Structure formats: C-alpha cells, structure tokens
Amino acid sequence: MSSWVDGADDYEIHAYLFLEFRCSDCGGSAPISSEFEQTSEEWCSDVARQARVAGWTMPADKDEIEDVDQRCYCPDCAKRRDLPPSF
C-alpha cells in the first residue's frame, strides 16, 4: 500500500482498496470516473471527492474496528439508516 494512504481519509482508503464505492446494503455502486491513473493519490482523492459529493456515506464505528468495506452506503440506504452525510 502506498505511504500516502496511511494519512488518507476513509474515502480515499476505500477507493484505493476496492477501486469503487459499492453500497454495503443494496449493492449499488457509485458512478465514478477520473482522468488520473487508477490507485494513484490523485485518483483516490478525485473519486473520494466524487463519492462524497454524490452523497455516499462511510460512518465511523467507534465501538468496533473500522472496516471500510462494511460501512459504505449509497445516499438512499444512508437515508434509510438515518446516517448523517460524511464531509
């Protein structure tokens, strides 16, 4: 894993590890595109920003070990779960 990922936010880490944003509830995926090389720091920042702007939510779980794969929600599922938007 790239050294910049250590200090990156959860959205960037998720982009780097999974190359997409797929909802943990419904399985839907965020439409993302970027001019940058996939998995580069710029690409991860770009697609992370796109997911945030589109309303994807990755809430922090303070009671358990954070698992970036199991806590990614599309806007509809986040709303249904009453999760606040992540900024």
pLDDT in tens, 12-48: 888 988 999 999 999 999 998 999 999 899 999 999 9
CB 49 within 8 A of CB 8: no
Evaluate whether residue 14 is within a structural domain. Answer: yes
Evaluate whether residue 87 is within a structural domain. Answer: no
Residue reference for tokens 């990156």: 8
Domain total for the chain?
1
Evaluate whether residue 86 is within a structural domain. Answer: no
Write down the pLDDT at residue 66. 54
**Which DSSP helix (H) or strand (E) runs through 67?**
none
Write down the pLDDT at residue 85. 75
Q: Is residue 65 over pLDDT 60?
A: no
Evaluate whether residue 85 is within a structural domain. Answer: no
- pTM beyond 0.85: the answer is no
Q: Bigger pLDDT: 76 or 68?
A: 76
Q: Is residue 73 over pLDDT 90?
A: yes
Residue reference for tokens 């929600």: 73
Residue 29: CB atoms within 10 A of its CB come to 14
CB 16 within 8 A of CB 8: yes
Residue reference for tokens 């009453």: 82
For 15, the domain range is: 3-80
